[in-house]
Amino acid sequence: MAERSQRKTFFVVQGFSGGRQGHRMDTPIQARSEASARRQAERLSERKSGVIAFSRTGDPTTGEFDEPVVLASYGRIPGNEDGLPF
C-alpha cells in the first residue's frame, strides 16, 4: 500500500536585525495563515531592519518541499536576487 503524501503549507515570518556586525536572522515565527503572516511581517517591520513573510509547501515527513513563495518583504533583506536569505 502506497503512503499518502502529507503535504502541508507553512507560513513563516523572518525578521532581521542590523548592527555593526551586519544583518543577522532572528528566530523565525510560524503564522497560521497567509493573512496572519502578512500582518505579522508588517507589524514587525516597524522594529526590524528587514522582514520577510513567505510560505513553503511540502511533506515534513520526507523533507521534500517546493521553493518558498515570498508573501511580503519590508526593509533590507540580506540574500540573493530572489529576495530570499536562504
CA 58 and chain centroid, separation: 14
Residue 64 is assigned to a structural domain of this protein: yes
Q: For residue range 61-81, what is the model confidence (pLDDT) as tens digits? A: 999 999 999 999 999 888 755
* Number of domains making up the chain: 1
Element (H, E) at 42: helix 34-44
Task: Name, of 1-5, 17-21, 80-84, the range with top average pLDDT.
Answer: 17-21
At 1 the pLDDT is 46
Domain with 36, as residue range(s), is: 8-75
Kindly report the pTM of this predicted structure: 0.83
Residue 13 is assigned to a structural domain of this protein: yes
Residue 66 is assigned to a structural domain of this protein: yes
Residue 60 is assigned to a structural domain of this protein: yes
User: By C-alpha distance, which of 81, 21, 20, 28 is closest to 51?
Assistant: 28
Residue 80 is assigned to a structural domain of this protein: no
Q: For residue range 45-62, what is the model confidence (pLDDT) as tens digits? A: 999 999 999 999 999 999
